[in-house]
Structure 1
Amino acid sequence: MTDRLRRWSRGGIAALVLLALAYVCWRVAAALAAVLIPLAVAVLLAALLWPAVSWLHRRRVPRALSAGLVLLTSLALLGGMLAFTVDALVSGAGGIGAALRDAVVATRDWLVHGPLSLSEPQIDAAVDNLLSLVTGQTERILGGATATAAAVGTALAGVVLSLFALYFFLYDGDRLWRNAVQIVPESVRERVDQTGRRVFHALSGFTRATLAVAVVDAVAIGAGLAIIGVPMAIPLTSLVFLGAFVPYAGAFVAGCAAVLVALVTGGPVSALLVLALTVAVQELEGDVLQPFLLGRVVRLHPLTVIVAVATGVVLAGVVGALFAVPVVLTAREIWHREDGDHGADRTAESDTARADDARSAVG
């Protein structure tokens, strides 16, 4: 009994030490978020783009030129998509506003002359309260303009840092990693090297599979919106594409924006059709795309993914939702690496093969 209590006490102390370390790491990460988030984005993008760089390098294109070409091409594609989306949203905002006003008038008439038979003074009072609420928030919005400008400046600085780091990750990532590994003690250096390369390999598969899922979601919902006749189908499709980078939930949330646009512009029937389309695409993603594309790479239960995304949203908002699954993947690879050292189900041959694949990927 004494030995058991002693083991429990040691386990409790170890758990407290781990919790303390996790808390310290969290506070440090929060303090350095303006630096760590751009670097984390650069790592994910490097994991996505390294196959293209390696493909060019194998065809005798210099590594520096390969990294520059891939980076510039990716920026051109992403910048063009964002510019087109913003332009379409701005140009279609007038039509959406007119449709929204018509919907408000139609709703008011239905509330007064419909089955509810509300009195006009009641409706007018509700409208006045709504207008007062909007007017009251105007001052707060204007007062936050300075903070918004500061946030935009910080975001631009983060973008520059992320692009700068991304280029060097693509161009010289293997040497940077080797230099980083030299910091750790020699007794665990080989283990850290293999684990880090396996993590990068897992992130590469995750980002490529997520990109494929996002493309399929966007094409399916975009085609459906065009057939139903929802205005601004292309910018809404772009929103679905960007939202799909958050597994399971992102495309559905972006699809709800299309449902609102359909409700305002086309009425309840169009909104129900778009809702049915969004649910159908979500089922396609959950039952077919995620198991076949992401399932083979991520190997995480959907409930685990949803809980991770929800936890990320609570802790860090949109940024947390974006990095939730990569963080879980990284933790799993590290844990399995330690498991393998104690005789878990992974064989040494499979570990070596995956480490070699990751080394060739980075190099």
Structure 2
Amino acid sequence: MPDDQRGKVTTGTAVVRRWTWTGACVLVFAVLAHLLLRVLVVLSPVLIPLAVAVLLTALLWPLVAWLTRLRVPRALAAGLVLLVSLAALGAMLAFSVDALVGGAGDLGTTLRDAVARVRDWLVHGPLSLRETQVDALVEDLVGVVTGQTERIVGGATATATALGGFLAGLVLALFALFFFLADGERIWLGALRLVPARLRDEADAAGRGALHALTGFTRATLAVAVVDAAAIGTGLALLGVPMVVPLTSLVFLGAFVPYVGAFVAGSVAVLVALVSGGPVTALLVLALNIGVQELEGDVLQPFLLGRVVRLHPLVVVVAIGVGVVVAGLVGALFAVPVVLVARAVLESRAR
């Protein structure tokens, strides 16, 4: 065989071999990623409370450090910060539940009146439907709801089971949060001993950089959530929309998902305004929701969150979308923190 042909055969063989190894590596990586995801799903009842505890630690760590500088013992400072935080959260939940229970009856009455108006419009309006047709439609709807009795009972049982799991996760999160706040430094140094000595300094820098990024993220997100909730709550109160406190609390919690959370939570207020005040009030609440979203996206997020997170809005939205697909609401909540931790690790390796 001539030398030029032999060279071409050798080059072709090398290309095939290289692509074969690339395909094998991609396949192995996909299998490992699938197995890792399955493990994370199995361990999620433990991992999610721990992840929540880490986020709350990043938020409350500066308060504990401030009390420690005032010569308050670390464990006592952690306990005080935890108790004050739980009291504030409990007060918000108590006010929200009380307002929700108090306004649910009035909202139900308003909803029945709205249904009656719709029925009257169907009969006497431009459609001019016969009363027998409308009554038959109502009966069909009632039959659909009645036919779901067994499913509702099963859903109640599943809800009770989920509530038990939630309470167990809450206890684990609070337990971990206290020890992260009180003894986080020693826990971290103990974890570093598991890392090979040649990588220990790099791992320490990556971990502390990730904690710094999470601290800035949680503090800035809290500030954005407060502004969003205050703006929405003030607007709802001025428009006379019922259940202002629970709707405001919902917007506050939703704002912890950057860019989209507060807007999605605010859409619930639009529905309540539609039932209680009609289309005009609903349009005004929708305009308020869009205005707050513009304020968050154009002013608050770039000014407060952009300086700390340093992520392009497209990256944030894509990360949240991936998080929703992979893990639903939990994935949306932790998408940006995971990206921040990954970036901190990569930046520490680049130094």
- Verify same fold: TM over 0.5: yes
Are 1:272 and 2:283 matched, yes or no? yes
Aligned equivalent of 1:174: 185
Aligned equivalent of 1:159: 170
Residues 22-78 of structure 1, C-alpha deviations (whole Å, 9 max, x = no match):
222211111111111100000000000000000110111111111000000000001
Are 1:55 and 2:66 matched, yes or no? yes
Q: Could you say what secondary structure the match of 2:148 adopts?
A: helix
Aligned equivalent of 1:359: none
Unaligned 5+ segments in structure 2 are 1-10
Partner residue of 2:269 out of 240, 247, 258: 258
The Cα shift of 1:333 comes to 2.1
Are 1:81 and 2:92 matched, yes or no? yes
Distance 1:3 1:299, change over 3 A: farther
* Alignment of structure 1 residues 161-310 onto 2, 5 Å: 161-310=172-321
The Cα shift of 1:119 comes to 2.6
Give the total of aligned pairs: 340
Aligned equivalent of 2:128: 117
Partner residue of 2:112 out of 86, 92, 101: 101
The Cα shift of 1:112 comes to 1.8
Aligned equivalent of 1:46: 57
Partner residue of 2:157 out of 146, 160, 166: 146
Q: Distance in 2 between matches of 1:5 and 1:333?
A: 37
Distance 1:199 1:8, change over 3 A: farther
Distance 1:10 1:55, change over 3 A: farther
Q: Distance in 1 between matches of 2:320 and 2:116?
A: 39
Identity of aligned residues (%): 69
| One-letter amino acid of the structure 1 residue matched with residue 122 of structure 2 | L
The Cα shift of 1:10 comes to 4.6
Q: Distance in 2 between matches of 1:316 and 1:121?
A: 47
With structure 1 as the length reference, what TM-score do the two structures score?
Answer: 0.89
The Cα shift of 1:276 comes to 0.3
With structure 2 as the length reference, what TM-score do the two structures score?
Answer: 0.92
Partner residue of 2:32 out of 9, 21, 28: 21
Unaligned 5+ segments in structure 1 are 341-347, 349-363
Q: Distance in 1 between matches of 2:116 and 2:303?
A: 48
Runs of 4+ in structure 1 over 6 Å off: none
